[in-house]
């Protein structure tokens, strides 16, 4: 009887842990648009589930993990400036005891690039981000992207 009880307990705990790991309140989508013969804009959109907050790139120390975009260097392009983000909501969050900038529903981030040739290529990189709701924060997550530029 004890082995059966232990097995059932392990199964229940394993299912709970699996559900926690599968929670993904942010869906990412990507696009690129040439704006001239020598420049393009990379669009990185976060669609955020109701009740969740995705944090800005501009977070002071002591707060949640700021969103960070990392672009792999490539011969086909160079970055122009930094990733632009929409105007965030800024509110005091009790858990961090500070004003925090975040996004709800969706946010579109933009990165301008200078094209170094005319051939199609891929912009590769990743975004590291953290999300919280009123009851929990998920650990920082990294999502890899590969965006075609034609």
Domains parsed from the chain with CATH numbers: 25-149 (2.60.40.1250)
In the predicted structure, residue 67 carries a pLDDT above the cut 80: yes
Question: Residue range 17-21: average pLDDT?
Answer: 47
CA dihedral 14, 16, 18, 24 (to 10 degrees): -170
In the predicted structure, residue 21 carries a pLDDT above the cut 80: no
Q: Are 31 and 106 in contact (CB under 8 A)?
A: no
Q: pLDDT at position 89, please?
A: 98
pLDDT bin (cut points 50, 70, 90) of residue 94 is: confident
Query: What is the rounded CA–CA span in Å between residue 112 and residue 93?
Result: 32
Q: pLDDT at position 85, please?
A: 98
Nearest to 139 by CA among 37, 80, 65: 65
Question: Residue range 56-63: average pLDDT?
Answer: 96
pTM as predicted: 0.84
Query: What is the rounded CA–CA span in Å between residue 115 and residue 40?
Result: 7
Query: What is the rounded CA–CA span in Å between residue 32 and residue 96?
Result: 36
- pLDDT higher at 126 or 3: 126
């Amino acid at each position: 009887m004890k082995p059966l009880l232990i097995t059932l307990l392990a199964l229940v705990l394993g299912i709970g842990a699996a559900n926690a790991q599968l929670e993904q309140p942010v869906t990412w989508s990507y696009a690129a648009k040439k704006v001239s013969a020598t420049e393009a804009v990379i669009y990185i959109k976060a669609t955020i589930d109701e009740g969740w907050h995705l944090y800005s790139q501009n977070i002071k120390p002591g707060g949640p993990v700021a969103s960070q975009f990392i672009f792999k260097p490539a011969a086909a392009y160079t970055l122009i400036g930094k990733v632009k983000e929409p105007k965030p909501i800024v509110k005091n969050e009790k858990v961090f005891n500070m004003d925090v900038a975040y996004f709800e529903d969706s946010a579109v981030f933009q990165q301008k690039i200078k094209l170094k040739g005319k051939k199609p290529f891929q912009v590769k990189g990743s975004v590291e981000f953290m999300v919280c709701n009123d009851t929990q924060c998920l650990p920082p997550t990294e999502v890899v992207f590969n965006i075609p530029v034609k």
